[in-house]
Structure 1
Amino acid sequence: MRTNYFGSASSFALADHAIAWEKEAYDVQPRYTYPASDLIDTLLVLYFTNVHPTTPILHRPSFERSVAEGLHLADPQFGGLLLSVLALASRYSKDPRVFVDGDASLSAGWSFYNQIWILRKKFEPTIYEVQMYCLLTLYCTGISATHISWLYLGIGIRCLHQRGEHQRKGCGGGPEDELWKRAFWSFIALERMVCAFTGRPMSLQAEEYDLDLPFEVDDEYWDQGFTQPPEKPESQLSYFLADLRLCEIWGDAMRRLYAPKKLKTRMGWDTLGGEQSSVATFDSRMNDFLDSIPPHLRWDPDSPPEDDMFFDQSVILHLTYNFILIAIHRPYIHKATVLAAPSLSICATAARTILRAANMWLSKLQRIPLPNLINPVFVSGIILVMNMLATKCVGLEKNKDISLVGSAMEILKVAESRYHTAGRLLDIVREVRSFYGLFHPPNDHPDSFNAESVPGSSSFESTNESTSTPGLFLPNIHDVFYPQHEQLFQPVADSTLPYDQSSGPRPGMSIEQLLADTERPDATKSIFGDELMSMWMAVPTDVADISGWDAYIESRNGPDVNWFPSFPQTFR
């Protein structure tokens, strides 16, 4: 069966039956080197524990069966997919065989990634290749040259377009069709995350694809007619479908609120009325999304899910929701309009929520953060610094926010042992904080991350390898690089500094409600002095723009100051 897709206007559609197109019988195939079978087995467990719950592009039973049967030895495309799985899983492993030279933590998985061939000639893309591009995108979000992740993302999307996987099919419904659906929707979710991080345009808009969502059925029930058993209604795929609904809002928001000036002017989006209408529309959609979250994925910090996988999914969904709230409102916090004060308040509240949830996530699971946690933590830390400058908060409220900024730095420091980008983001938060003298209380040195000095932190004994859970990232890995830590991550306790919840934004609050609570429409003028306004306006409009922060820090310190000594200039 032909799998190429050409639109009705294509000349290929006319010539397809007029010319006999034949592929060459020979094509050079890669020769991959795989690790020992015991390491493969261990890394597969780590992958399906740490990555699969939030990126379910694979079908676990069939994938593990294919590995056991040795398909990677016979099929180079499946071999490339396996290597990409091993590369990602290596970030959660302490085995010295996953490191280059056996001890460089940032090189975890590089020996697997560096073998993979891309862009085969003369052959149609297979499901294995498309899945591989998705996982390579995830892996490259953590290397020094993060822009490569956007390129892999584009290759995968073009392969999906070539096969017509963006269109609803008139027949099918079997396991292979379900794998292609999962692949397409995984790229939808991943593209939103990567483009938000890199600040680059999306290639898939909602009006350009039309296909069914994946079945809300766990992997082990595919052979039962894709039916989730009534006695187990809480599906692992519920998170993925909820995340896709959230990503649809995210994509629309990025397209409209971060559009080029020419498009905004043409569509009338850059007027005050257009901005207020856009923000109100997205706020309403976000509130509707809250009502649609399945009960087992709803986030309650006082009663989080007991199951580790559902806890993982619930936290990441909660983080993504609040990160999108920040994305919706942050373009307006610099502007002297009626949207500035309420938008800053919403962003600050969402940032606090993100950091508290991330704090709980790491303190419970004790493992290296996922890529979709790192950027929200960075942005939240920056938002809180900006909020403290703008509102000139003092006393307990300021100390609480300073502690949360310290928590963001602690999380990024944990992540930087495996992600180049996390170390760079940590440096940015540290320098931005130091510009304005927003340091921790006197007992906490601003550049120290000694867990014993963190109020309320608890000790942690290293887990013996023979009794540890294979899905967890073991604390003694981190000891090699951060010997001052007894625990991979110890939460920053801030419960002694309560906020007054009687004022300010509340969950589900719309921009209209917040505007109504604002005492004066021009309240933004009262939160900036002339000197602070000048400093504030120099801050990058997009707080997630790393290159913008590079330029900002350089302008304040001079071009000869290198705040990122661990990163070569070519990757800045």
Structure 2
Amino acid sequence: MSSRRKIKCDSAIVPGNCCSNCAYIGAECTHALPTKKRGPKNPYVQELEERIRVMSEKLRVKSFELQDQQENSLVPLNGSTSTRSLPSNPLSAVLSPILSDGKSGLSGPDNELHSPPSVLCLDFARGQFFGPSSGFTLMKRAYDLKTEALNDYDISMHSLCQRTQYWEMHPWEQASRDQQMPRYEFPDTDLINSLVSLYLVNVNIFFPIIHPPTLKRLVAEDFHVRDQNFGATVLLVCALGSRYSDDPRVLHTPGCQLSSGHRWFSQVKMIRESLFERPTLYNLQSICLAILYLIGTPEPKASWLLVALGLRFCCELGLHRRKPDGHTWTLEEEQEKRAFWVLVTLDKLTASFLGRPSAIHDEDIDADLPQQLSDEEWEDQEQSIEKPSIVAAFISYIRLCDILDFALQTLYSTRKSQLILGLVGQDWREKVVYDLDSSLNEWINSLPNYLRSDLGKQSRGIFALQSAFLYTSYYHLQIYIHRPFLSKPASGTLPSLSICLTAAKSCARVLGCQQSGSLASLPHTQYAAFAAGVILLFYLWANKRAGITIDQHREVQSVEILLRVLEQQETKFASAGRFWDMLTELKRGYDARGGTDGLRSPHSESTSWTGASGNNVAENEAAKSEHFEQQAEQESTQLAIDVWAKAPPGFTYNEWLYYIEDMGGMREA
């Protein structure tokens, strides 16, 4: 500091060693000493750092005898011995971190909050995850302080107090743990191979739950007969593959296509008899497969419960947290990671469709995304730069679900949650929607070129199917975001009606192009078809009530396409049949009251669709019908679209049907 001006002295960097302030007023600089560099560290601090380093090294190097107590342990997926084993001493396991972040265990609280938490292994918990808030983590830190205070890093943890009755499993608990292996009935060898192949080409390309080469190898080795966990996974693979098979052996009830795969799905118990077992990779995969099967049944709400169970298992294993920098991923860990992200996406889908809270939110997750290595290149751990990755589409879908999660927490959350997020004021909803639209545009522009392919040229290729799936999900999310604003006055700043209509018609074109493929059979696309159909039919009835006579053949054609897509899938998916019934009931009577004749046969142009090449497809379509949308929006928005907007998002099938039947008054007007 300058003694005359009481301000910072810069004499050390000014020629003549006279600070600029003293030179300006013509005074003598009385503090002309240059800035001194900081001296060496305090020896005591250096000693502490060295002791901490030595302690961490000893904890990391010190090992105990290991014994494998898992009767049904995982077969090594990469041909090597399993790295998952159990400690012989429970208390020592409490104090021994498996996952180290490379930092001292005595780091400050701020660092602890921003670093990967410890994963502690307990004999009774079998490798469960415990985060920074856990009492076991605090116990570990307290033990570190004790060893440092005693200056003895070789304290035997075997000598610590362990009363047998509290640390060992009792006979009645062991009996529950060692339940009898279920007797599964698998398909014949030729059929099981066929169903596995059908599953891989129709389901796994969208949700990479299972590593195909490993699945085929283990099935060929009859490992599903010896391991009950993998056996359950194979049964559920067969259940899903049955929906794409014409073999009569897949039917639970002869002649009933809706029973496809149920004979194998019904054998698997989703809730384990023993709650003492540590969840395995096969448990996670089984839950993912069961959810995909249940979504297509008459009661998809059961899938919402299973999603929460699966995510709890993932959190127990610490799959929601990132690994330390430089971690080398094994094939088993990568499959666990993929199963976790599949559950995250299914969580958003079921929560949005049923109007219920999500089991996990984006802010709870800092796990790494799946790697884009192809299934065949896992041995080399090297992905060709020029070769497209099949997993890229799933990663893009994860990012799209992040946008959906934000919409769930803002537009569809409780008022308390909105206040916590600072969503106050008159126009916060409009600002949120603008941000969501911007995120959607960034997302669609970030898609790799091979996921923007022309479906007319490559309608049956894997990347074409993935592209159609992503765009269908994109249009569905557009409708979901703008649905709350359909009841706003036409003078509002958001063109929500136009965006929803355009998205619904675009969704119909994509599904019409893929109506006979595996895309239309996904429950995700059936949900999108239902939402798009409701938007279009409410709009048609609103225009009819308002007396608008302009040409609406494009909307009518889109409705027919969506109905045809659902009709083709209803033979094996009860959900598609219910959606068809509800949309048909809503459409009933439109022709008899002067509607256009286009309800019978859509034009061929409606079944052609080309992926975007960098621009928003919805915006391009909106530009073509701007005059039509503006004229209709002013007269019809408040008549019927608000009824759709005000409908609770968590309606069941029967509630939707009653709700639509109550709309008869609108048709009579």
Q: TM-score, normalised by structure 2?
A: 0.68
**Within 5 Å, which residues of 2 pair with 1:476-495?**
493-494=604-605
- CA offsets 1:388-408 (integer angstroms, 9 cap, x no match): 344569667412211110111
CA-CA distance at 1:366 after TM superposition: 7.4
Of the three residues 531, 535, 542, the one matched with 1:379 is 531
Equivalent residue, structure 2, for 1:175: 331
Specify every segment of 5 or more residues in structure 1 that has no aligned partner in the other structure, as ranges: 447-452, 456-491, 498-504, 559-572
RMSD: 3.4
Equivalent residue, structure 2, for 1:252: 406
AA of the residue aligned to 2:662:
S
Tell me if structure 2 keeps the 8 A contact 1:326–1:346. yes
Of the three residues 160, 163, 167, the one matched with 1:20 is 167
Equivalent residue, structure 1, for 2:14: none
CA-CA distance at 1:553 after TM superposition: 2.8
Of the three residues 60, 76, 83, the one matched with 2:228 is 76
CA-CA distance at 1:367 after TM superposition: 7.7
Tell me if structure 1 keeps the 8 A contact 2:475–2:504. yes
- In structure 2, relative to structure 1, the CA distance for the partners of 1:106 and 1:115 (3 Å cut) is same
- CA offsets 1:196-229 (integer angstroms, 9 cap, x no match): 222221111111011111111110110012x123
Greater relative contact order structure (CA < 8 Å, 6+ sep): 1
- In structure 2, relative to structure 1, the CA distance for the partners of 1:350 and 1:21 (3 Å cut) is farther
Does residue 550 of structure 1 match 2:657?
yes
Does residue 357 of structure 1 match 2:510?
yes
CA-CA distance at 1:322 after TM superposition: 1.1
**Within 5 Å, which residues of 2 pair with 1:235-314?**
235-265=389-419, 267=421, 269=423, 271-300=425-454, 304-305=457-458, 308-314=461-467
- In structure 2, relative to structure 1, the CA distance for the partners of 1:74 and 1:350 (3 Å cut) is same
AA of the residue aligned to 1:82:
V
Tell me if structure 1 keeps the 8 A contact 2:441–2:616. no
Does residue 221 of structure 1 match 2:328?
no
Equivalent residue, structure 1, for 2:297: 143
Of the three residues 32, 53, 56, the one matched with 2:205 is 53
CA-CA distance at 1:556 after TM superposition: 4.4
- In structure 2, relative to structure 1, the CA distance for the partners of 1:435 and 1:441 (3 Å cut) is closer
In 2: Cα distance, 1:520 partner to 1:429 partner = 23
- CA offsets 1:182-203 (integer angstroms, 9 cap, x no match): 1111111222222222222111
AA of the residue aligned to 1:61:
P
CA-CA distance at 1:82 after TM superposition: 0.5
CA-CA distance at 1:425 after TM superposition: 1.0
**Within 5 Å, which residues of 2 pair with 1:385-396?**
385-391=537-543
Equivalent residue, structure 2, for 1:185: 341
CA-CA distance at 1:311 after TM superposition: 1.1
Equivalent residue, structure 2, for 1:407: 561
Tell me if structure 2 keeps the 8 A contact 1:330–1:542. no
Equivalent residue, structure 1, for 2:3: none
CA-CA distance at 1:163 after TM superposition: 0.8
In 2: Cα distance, 1:520 partner to 1:197 partner = 27
AA of the residue aligned to 1:229:
S
CA-CA distance at 1:92 after TM superposition: 0.6
- CA offsets 1:502-524 (integer angstroms, 9 cap, x no match): xxx963759xx99xx99999x99
SS in 2 for 1:223: coil
Tell me if structure 1 keeps the 8 A contact 2:511–2:520. no
Equivalent residue, structure 2, for 1:105: 257
In 1: Cα distance, 2:347 partner to 2:473 partner = 14
In 2: Cα distance, 1:71 partner to 1:181 partner = 23
In 2: Cα distance, 1:439 partner to 1:422 partner = 27
Equivalent residue, structure 2, for 1:199: 355
- In structure 2, relative to structure 1, the CA distance for the partners of 1:265 and 1:6 (3 Å cut) is closer
Tell me if structure 1 keeps the 8 A contact 2:205–2:462. yes
**Off by >6 Å, runs of 4+ in structure 1:** 14-17, 438-444, 517-521
**Within 5 Å, which residues of 2 pair with 1:118-157?**
118-120=270-272, 121=274, 122-157=276-311
Of the three residues 133, 145, 152, the one matched with 1:9 is 133
- May I ask how many residue pairs the two structures share in their alignment? 497
CA-CA distance at 1:272 after TM superposition: 3.7
SS in 1 for 2:253: helix
- CA offsets 1:146-193 (integer angstroms, 9 cap, x no match): 111111111111100111111112234111111111111111122222
- In structure 2, relative to structure 1, the CA distance for the partners of 1:304 and 1:201 (3 Å cut) is farther
Of the three residues 518, 530, 552, the one matched with 1:398 is 552
Tell me if structure 2 keeps the 8 A contact 1:399–1:441. no
- In structure 2, relative to structure 1, the CA distance for the partners of 1:145 and 1:299 (3 Å cut) is same
Tell me if structure 2 keeps the 8 A contact 1:78–1:128. yes
Equivalent residue, structure 1, for 2:483: 330
In 1: Cα distance, 2:510 partner to 2:617 partner = 15
In 2: Cα distance, 1:525 partner to 1:493 partner = 28
Tell me if structure 2 keeps the 8 A contact 1:287–1:508. no
Larger Rg: 2
Moved more, 395-404 or 108-117: 395-404
Of the three residues 421, 430, 441, the one matched with 2:575 is 421
AA of the residue aligned to 1:221:
E
Tell me if structure 2 keeps the 8 A contact 1:336–1:524. no
